[in-house]
A and B are shown apart, each in its own frame.
Chain A
Amino acid sequence: MNNSKISKLDKKMDKIKEKEEKGLLKEKKVNRTLRKFFNNKLAVIGLFILLTITFASIFAPIICRYSPGKINLTEALEPPSRDHIFGTDKLGRDVFSRVLYGGRISILVGFGSGIGSALIGVSIGSYAGYKGGLLDKIFLRISEVLIAFPQIVLVLLLVTILGQSLWNLLFIFILTGWASMYRMARARMLSLREEEYIQALKAFGVSDFVICYKHMLPNAIGPVVINITLSTAMFILEETSLSFLGLGVPLNLPTWGNILYAAQNLSILRNNWWIWLPPGIMISLFVLGLNFVGDGLRDSFDPSYQG
């Protein structure tokens, strides 16, 4: 053999060679996509983070000792203790339970907007992209106008007009968000449309509707799922930013963002770190998890990535 130093790569290769010769690697009939995903350490960590935080939020009523809205002025602004894991805020409310309950709303808004804009964007995009024609052109122009607006500007504009509420926010997010999903689905459809098996299906007289939704859409699922993950991340960041500014979800419903609203006060910022640090870290962790998973999905669905 050669006299070069045994590198890390060499060792990995030796291990694989051994396993192969023992016939251990042949049986893997597992879906290649899944295998690639679970081999990706970051993706698995991300999934773990997401599931943990989501379940903690869902089971908040069981986990938390105090109700998130319970005001107790005598215990206001107390640092973390055994009684209150994250301390209390200005009104004596338990920060830990507020963070957990806040997660429900933030995750709901983020994920709901992600799925909502995906549903609308993909269904319109696939059909319009496949059929083409007038309908396609109209939606294309509409989406261009929507995309031209910087997102925050458009959202703030609509918040001013429609007013602040949880459902309004969901509506606004989906309204501003479907356009990019639409473009992506449409682009995918456009390229799939030219594939030969589609021509074959048409020659067999299969209806357009069936071709589009039953045959082409499953091939576009990969990018759609990735997009939902990443757009959920974007929506969560948006909702929390808006709520932080006091313009998102109204203050009576805790979300990660509007808990941080209190941090606009310089004294709280300086002295009461337990009020704003936990929700901020929660947001970052959750979005980080989403990004890890989204990246992992992207690598798994990519046929040229060789693990």
Chain B
Amino acid sequence: MNNQTLLTVNNLSVYIYANQRCNKAVQNVSFEVQKGKILGMIGESGCGKSITASAIIQLLPELARIESGEIIFHDSEEGDIRIDSLDKNSKEMRKIRGEKIAMIFQDPMTALNPVYTVGFQIMESLRYHRKLSKKQAKQRSIELLREMGIPSPERRINEFPHQYSGGMRQRAMIALAMACNPKFLIADEPTTAIDVTIQAQIFELMFKLKNQYDMTILLITHDMGVIAELADDVVVMYMGNIVEKGSVEEILMNAVHPYTRALLKCIPILGKGKTQELEPIKGTTPDPYDRPQGCQFYPRCEYGTDKCLEFPETCYISNTHAVKCWHHMKVLENG
């Protein structure tokens, strides 16, 4: 850890208790997010990435809880804040949400309240956190919409979410998140529910946030393409564990975990033509209530041996590149 780290997550475990069962959704996850950078978190549906994100901002569903581990937010003014030790709805946590950490969600249509105008929802945040007057809040909201690229913001401010187009709604949600100038933005699959053509616009917006506002972003996605476009650093998750992490070049060019390799191989590349080889990953993800022993990927892995019944330790390939696999050297050799 250096003083460029904004968020440190240490051995975080989150369990979900639905239907009277215990699902160990996230187990011993550790990573760091560097200031001013975009960390991409990639994995299939159900791998635990959304849960991890929700844990950071303490917005876990009622039937889930943080079992163990630390979440430390390195605030420049107030020093280190142990988020996991704060009560979910305490005053401190609520101050952090919105003012220091903000989150945007996958589907802006359902994430915005349908009966209130967009302006009202943005102003709400401003008046509560910054104690602005109604007039000041309105001014600032119009500014925010404009900065996020929404045309005629003075009119838009009095409109309802369903009157906006898909891309605009996402921008509105980002404006909402940005209202109180947080340092850290968690984006949970922000482009999944949007047309591909609009995705590019949102990417641009994210770049703008990073470069112009010096934002640190945790970007959650299941799309390698998004990672390639936006991420500076990458964390790969499978079945609740981080299997590999590193810079985006290291991961895309030099992945050493079998799962990451397999993931990269089964994605079609636009323009490469129909002769490109796509290799789907054999097998299916295991039942979370009936997990395999040791490494979770072992049953589907072509490099697996008996050693894999023992859960792999973290190995560092470089300063920034780490992997949890006993056979990563073999994978490296295979090129």
Contact = CB atoms under 8 A, between A and B. Distances in A.
Interface of A: 1-4, 9-10, 12-13, 16-17, 19-21, 25-26, 32, 39, 306-307
B20 A16 contact: yes
A203 to B, nearest CB: 28
A17 B15 contact: yes
A32 B21 CA distance: 12
B69 to A, nearest CB: 9
Contacts of B289: 20, 25-26
Interface string B11-22: 000010111111
User: Taking each of B65, B67, B85, which has the highest tally of chain A beta carbons within 10 Å of its own beta carbon?
Assistant: B65
Contact of A306 (B19, B68, B86, B290): B19
26 contacts: A1-B66, A1-B68, A1-B84, A2-B86, A2-B87, A4-B88, A10-B65, A12-B17, A13-B15, A13-B17, A13-B22, A13-B65, A16-B17, A16-B20, A16-B22, A17-B15, A19-B22, A20-B21, A20-B22, A20-B289, A21-B22, A25-B20, A25-B289, A32-B19, A306-B63, A307-B18
Nearest to B87: A4
A26 B290 contact: yes
A55 B88 CA distance: 51
Interface residues of B, number: 20
A1 B85 CA distance: 7
Interface of B: 15, 17-22, 62-63, 65-68, 84-88, 289-290
Contacts, number: 46
B290 A307 contact: no
Nearest to B58: A2
A16 B21 CA distance: 6
B286 to A, nearest CB: 13
Contacts of A26: 289-290
Nearest to A35: B20
A59 B227 CA distance: 73
Contact of B85 (A2, A17, A307): A2
Nearest to A9: B62
Contacts of A4: 85, 87-88
Given A2-B85, A4-B87, A307 B20 contact: yes
A307 B18 CA distance: 7
Given A16-B22, A26-B290, A3 B85 contact: yes
A172 to B, nearest CB: 44
A16 B87 CA distance: 22
A33 B63 CA distance: 20
Nearest to A3: B85
A1 B18 CA distance: 21
Contacts of A1: 66-68, 84
Contacts of B85: 2-4
A283 to B, nearest CB: 35
Nearest to B20: A307
Contacts of B290: 26
Nearest to B84: A2
Contacts of A16: 17, 20-22
Given A2-B86, A26-B289, A26-B290, A306 B65 contact: no
A41 to B, nearest CB: 14
B19 A307 contact: yes
Give the 9 A-B CB pairs with smallest separation, nearest first: A20-B22, A306-B18, A2-B85, A17-B22, A4-B87, A13-B17, A16-B22, A307-B19, A306-B19
B291 to A, nearest CB: 11
Contacts of A17: 15, 17, 22
A175 to B, nearest CB: 43
Contacts of B20: 16, 25, 39, 307
A88 to B, nearest CB: 51
Nearest to B90: A4
User: Taking each of B17, B62, B88, which has the highest tally of chain A beta carbons within 10 Å of its own beta carbon?
Assistant: B17
A17 B16 CA distance: 10
A28 to B, nearest CB: 9
Contacts of A39: 20
A9 B18 CA distance: 12
B149 to A, nearest CB: 37
Nearest to A19: B22
Contacts of B19: 32, 306-307
Contacts of B62: 9
Contacts of B67: 1
Contacts of A3: 85
A9 B60 CA distance: 14
Nearest to B290: A26
Contacts of A9: 62
Contacts of A10: 65
A71 B222 CA distance: 81
Contacts of B87: 2, 4
A39 to B, nearest CB: 7
B85 to A, nearest CB: 5
A12 B19 CA distance: 12
B24 to A, nearest CB: 8
B238 to A, nearest CB: 21
Contacts of B63: 306
Given A2-B85, A13-B15, A306-B63, A25 B68 contact: no
B293 to A, nearest CB: 13
Contacts of A20: 21-22, 289
